A and B are shown apart, each in its own frame.
Chain A
Amino acid sequence: EVQLVESGGGLVQAGGSLRLSCTASGITFDTYEMNWVRQVPGKGLEWVSYIGSPSGPIYYADSVKGRFTISRDNAKNSLYLEMNALRVEDTALYYCTSFTNYYDRSGDKISDGFDLWGQGTMVTVSS
């Protein structure tokens, strides 16, 4: 079965740290580009970070740059998000998602989509 399973969320005080993990199964993980996307409950979606395959490039949203670090261990089929200097506004449900490239018949890339999603792990930062 193809699935992504996140873990590592929890309650932490502002300024603290957490490490999120995402374990993939049913896919050739090292060929997949991966992302973290977050969502405040009841609100919209915000992209957080991207890591290419097998290990780069890496991109971050400005809101987390310098505080969060994305990484992957392809031997363990795992994606990570190290979150430091957490802020109250980082409170959200964090989803691990894979990124699939789509091409037209000429071989030109026409889009990338977040096609596989985990169930999410909740991060709550208290003041």
Chain B
Amino acid sequence: DIQMTQSPSSLSTSVGDRVTITCQASQNINSFLNWYQQRPGKAPKLLIYAATELPRGVPPRFSGSRSEKDFTLTISSLQPDDFETYYCQQSFRTPYTFGRGTKVEIK
């Protein structure tokens, strides 16, 4: 199985800060990497697909990047709505696997 190592598991930050979350795949997954945002009690929402692409309606303060097996989600200027949990997920091969999640909390 492809392991997705996501870090950090949590971070405390403030509105307006720049936030970076990383995810490393245990093997090459090309660009088959997605990011999700999840609010408590709600289903996850697709935030970024194919490592760098934003679905329609996702604000441009969110961005993704890839360097070989390393992937990064960046929030350029954190907004109050962004204090949620974020997951990476590979869709290169089944079983589709998720990272353990990063909880972004208010400092």
Contact = CB atoms under 8 A, between A and B. Distances in A.
Interface string A99-126: 1101010000011111101111000000
Contacts of B100: 44
Given A44-B87, A117-B44, A119-B43, A111 B98 contact: no
Contacts of B101: 44-45
A114 B44 contact: yes
A59 B97 CA distance: 13
Contacts of A114: 34, 36, 44, 46, 89
A68 interface: no
Contacts of B87: 44-45
Interface residues of B, number: 26
A111 B50 CA distance: 5
Interface residues on chain A, size class: 20 to 34
Contacts of A100: 49
A94 to B, nearest CB: 11
Given A44-B98, A117-B44, 4 more contacts: A44-B101, A50-B94, A59-B95, A111-B49
Interface of B: 30-34, 36, 43-46, 49-51, 53, 55, 87, 89, 91, 94-101
